[in-house]
């Protein structure tokens, strides 16, 4: 398990799947804002890659996020779009509704940075998020990510186009202990 100050990132357990399905993916609004495509239901027992981890997939590493104190499932985190040639990847995370607003997101981003830069030897990490996702923007910036651009009206979300913000962090700019 990779550990931050309040959360740990561990392998996905079978009993995590129904909770993540119900609280993250069956929530049409949340899933529509988190995914790059239209929402669709996931049937129980499905091998949907958002829930079931394929250990043979090389371009993505999915984690379950748990509180260090009590081992309670907090959400999911992913390092995706891993490009070993350019030594870059993207960060994604989803927190259960009851776990939002507690600072877990900032800690999850920090642990994913450690995994990407230290464990994987990557040089660049990137986050794309909707411009109104204040929690993700704050979590990224507290970990040293810099806003690099805005993709205007690039995300179709529940009947409207929204802007996306691109944030990047280079290994040489990462400060593991610093939180703004």
CATH number at residue 90: 3.40.630.30
Residue 142 lies in a domain: no
At 33, is the pLDDT very low, low, confident or very high (cuts 50, 70, 90)? confident
Q: Report yes or no on 132 lying in a domain.
A: no
Q: Please indicate, yes or no, if residue 49 is contained in any of the structural domains.
A: yes
**Residue range(s) defining the domain that contains residue 14:** 2-124
Global pTM reads 0.90
Number of domains composing the chain: 1
Beta strands in the chain (DSSP E): 2-3, 7-10, 60-67, 73-83, 88-95, 124-130, 146-157, 160-170
Backbone φ and ψ of 94, nearest 5°: -140, 130
Check if the beta carbon of residue 170 is closer than 8 Å to that of residue 122.
no
Asked whether the predicted pLDDT for residue 180 surpasses 60, the reply is no
| Residue 67, both tokens | 């509180």
Q: How far apart are CA 111 and CA 79, in angstroms?
A: 11
Task: Decide if 155 is inside a domain.
Answer: no
Please report the pLDDT score of residue 176 as a whole number.
87
Is residue 92 in a domain? yes
In a domain, 61, yes or no: yes
Judge contact between 125 and 90, C-beta under 8 A.
Answer: yes
Which helix (H) or strand (E) element contains residue 14? Answer: none
* Confidence label for 81 from pLDDT (cuts 50, 70 and 90): very high
Number of other residues whose CB lies within 10 A of the CB of residue 164: 18
Q: Give a yes or no: residue 75 inside a domain.
A: yes
Tell me the mean pLDDT in the region 118-146: 97
pLDDT in the model for residue 51: 75
Is 51 within the bounds of a domain?
A: yes
């Amino acid at each position: 398990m990779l550990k931050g100050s309040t959360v740990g990132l561990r392998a996905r357990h079978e009993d995590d799947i129904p909770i993540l399905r119900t609280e993250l993916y069956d929530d049409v609004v949340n899933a529509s804002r988190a995914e790059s495509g239209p929402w669709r239901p996931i049937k129980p027992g499905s091998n949907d890659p958002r829930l079931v981890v394929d250990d043979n997939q090389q371009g993505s590493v999915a984690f379950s996020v748990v509180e260090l104190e009590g081992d309670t499932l907090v959400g999911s985190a992913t390092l995706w779009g891993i490009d070993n040639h350019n030594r870059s990847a993207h960060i994604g995370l989803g927190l259960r509704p009851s776990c939002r607003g507690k600072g877990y997101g900032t800690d999850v981003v920090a642990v994913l940075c450690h995994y990407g830069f230290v464990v994987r030897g990557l040089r660049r990490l990137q986050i794309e998020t909707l411009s109104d996702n204040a929690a993700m923007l704050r979590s990224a910036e507290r970990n040293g990510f810099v806003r690099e651009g805005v993709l205007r009206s690039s995300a179709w979300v529940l009947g409207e186009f929204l802007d996306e913000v691109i944030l990047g962090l280079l290994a040489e700019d990462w400060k593991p202990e610093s939180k703004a």
